[in-house]
Structure 1
Amino acid sequence: MMHAFEERIAKVLSTDFEITPDAVDSDVTLALLKFDSLTLVELALVLEKEFGITVEEGELTDTMTIGDTAALVAAKGTAVR
């Protein structure tokens, strides 16, 4: 079961990166979703806009899971809408 931040990230991945919702799970890594360094930068920018946060260079890595990414977003102090 995904948490609220994970669900919003899954929606972003589906909408902005054309990742099928079935491919997104808390434990899937960004590498498994074929994210390279450029795509990670694009994801950081989309997350910044979606959640109103700042993602520093290198904070997102392809070894992170969707759950890790959600934890990073939550740690930035954003609220779930």
Structure 2
Amino acid sequence: MTGSVATMIIEILTGKFEVSSEEVTTGTVLEDVEVDSLALLELSLILEKRLGISIEEGTLHSRQTVEEAADVIARLDDTAPAAV
């Protein structure tokens, strides 16, 4: 895997969800860029596929920052660095 989980989340948000790159950093709260429950599910599925891990429903939530979400995912995948 290239890059960190946080970078991957930012790439997904700016690519798939068309969030402006100026709006999203590791400190961005997901709900502040309109990531709702459906978007969280889609984000989880994309991360599962890219990282080869399983993410249980409710692991990610819209009140997390990108960095907090990355930390949670990195704990599921010990080989993935969390921060940028």
Pairwise TM-score range, normalised by the shorter structure: 0.7 to 0.9
Q: Say how many residue pairs are matched.
A: 79
Between 1 and 2, higher relative CO (CA 8 Å, sep ≥ 6) is seen in 2
TM-score under structure 2 normalisation? 0.81
Q: In structure 2, how many angstroms separate the alpha carbons of the residues matched to 1:37 and 1:58? A: 9
Q: In structure 2, how many angstroms separate the alpha carbons of the residues matched to 1:37 and 1:48? A: 16
* CA contact 2:51–2:77 (8 Å) conserved in 1: no
Q: Which position in structure 2 is the counterpart of 1:24?
A: 24
Q: In structure 2, how many angstroms separate the alpha carbons of the residues matched to 1:53 and 1:68? A: 17
In structure 2, do the counterparts of structure 1 residues 28 and 78 end up closer, same or farther at CA, with 3 Å as the change threshold? same
- The alignment yields a C-alpha RMSD, in angstroms, of 1.9
- Report matched runs for 1:1-81 at 5 Å: 4-80=4-80
Unpaired runs of 5+ in structure 1? none
TM-score under structure 1 normalisation? 0.84
Deviation at 1:78, TM superposition (A): 4.8
Unpaired runs of 5+ in structure 2? none
Deviation at 1:35, TM superposition (A): 1.2
What percent identity do the matched residue pairs reach? 32
**What CA deviation, in whole Å up to 9, does each residue of 1:34-75 have, x standing for no partner?**
011111111111111122111101111110100011101110
Q: In structure 2, how many angstroms separate the alpha carbons of the residues matched to 1:27 and 1:74? A: 16
* CA contact 1:52–1:78 (8 Å) conserved in 2: no
